[in-house]
Amino acid sequence: MSFTGEAIGEAMRRGAMAWIHLNDDAYGLAAEGAPAALSGANSGIGVWVSAEDAALLSVFADYRHHGDLVEVAGVFNAACPLHGGDMDIHATSLRIVRPGFTMARVIRPARLLAAASLAALVIALLLVNLRVARRKVRISADRILTRN
């Protein structure tokens, strides 16, 4: 069987072998610069590969990067007896379909305005809370002083 997905996270070496994680969601499979709508399930799978094959991967997906698009062929295990019954693929081959790349992040003015507005609201609520707390302390102190 073969599986194509975007490499995410990092390669976790275990001696001569390594774990990699591949996601096959729509935005991970999209070509560089092509927009991809979020759709369907975000499914991924752990892949047990040789450490040599894992070393071929240069970019793993994170907030700023699309990971290498990888095709693996191997044995699919619905309940792997070697790995605690987890679902995984034991890869016999790995091919990089498309190298990973850095994504350009655009700051949208509307989102920046919304963030600034929410920050101002939080600061205003904190100041109100501080004033109410001080008033309660002052009232408590006045009550104690008037009893004595």
Place of tokens 């994680």: 21
How does DSSP assign 30-55, residue by residue? SPTT------S---EEEEEEEHHHHT
Topology of domain 2-102, per CATH? OB fold (Dihydrolipoamide Acetyltransferase, E2P) (2.40.50)
- Domain range annotation of the chain: 2-102, 108-148
Residue numbers in the chain where pLDDT is lower than 70 = 27-41, 145, 147-148
Contacts of 57 (CB under 8 A, 6+ apart): 7, 11, 20, 67, 68, 70, 96
**pTM value > 0.85:** no
pLDDT at 87: 94
pLDDT at 33: 60
pLDDT at 59: 95
pLDDT at 40: 64
